[in-house]
Amino acid sequence: MKWLIIGISGPTCSGKTSVAKKVHENIKGSILINQDAYFLTEDDPRHVLIPELNHFNWEILSSLDMSKMYSDIKNIIETSNEDIRNGESDEKLKFLIIEGFLLYNYKPIADLCDKKYFIDIDKKVCWDRRKNRVYNPPDVPGYFDKVVWPEYLRHKQEISSNKNLNETTTFLDGTKPINELSDEVIDEIKHCLN
């Protein structure tokens, strides 16, 4: 059995979660994993405090349990492969969609992705969308300008400066409508399968 693993990434409020859900809805039998489910709890000692804001930095890999996310992904793949060996499934191709803002900055997960998409937006669009969202814990004043956007630029630079990642990632314009973006991803996946 073969897995096609699709990564959908980008900055906060870029539309990646909405696109991933639409792709998931349109690919029968696909599995969707959301990186946000792996944020550490607020009381976890691994968090990095930003002293001048008295707020944790939620925009870095250490704010997430990435080894657990990777383990869960591997478990899904291996369990499904075991089902095939036991004759419990006759599907030849399975689809796993992984969505999150730091997928490609964690090499073990980036290496699993057969198709990589990165939805990009500029700072103004990002802020216009983010300022209306409610987070738990809530953003403190100055968090976007001092942490969110600079961390995003750093993460994007890591991807751009990695030749392999840059060449294997499809960059999408996050100002396009969600349906248009999800159609681009779905059409490309269908094209690859033909």
CA distance 86 to 78: 12
43 has catalytic annotation: no
- Give the torsion sign (CA, 77, 80, 85, 90): negative
133-39-78-109 Cα dihedral, nearest 10 degrees: 80
For residues 13 and 16, what is the distance between their CA atoms, to the nearest angstrom? 8
User: What is the C-alpha to C-alpha distance for residues 62 and 40, in angstroms, rounded to an integer?
Assistant: 9
Nearest to 188 by CA among 115, 112, 94, 109: 115
What phi and psi values does residue 67 have, to the nearest 5 degrees? -65, -35
Take residue 29 and report the two structure tokens written for it.
Answer: 């039998």
The dihedral built from the CA positions of residue 185, 190, 192 and 193, taken in this order, carries a sign that is positive
36, 44, 145, 187: the catalytic one is 36
Which residue bears the tokens 């793949």? 77
Rounded CA separation 27/96 (Å) = 10
Kindly list the catalytic residues.
36
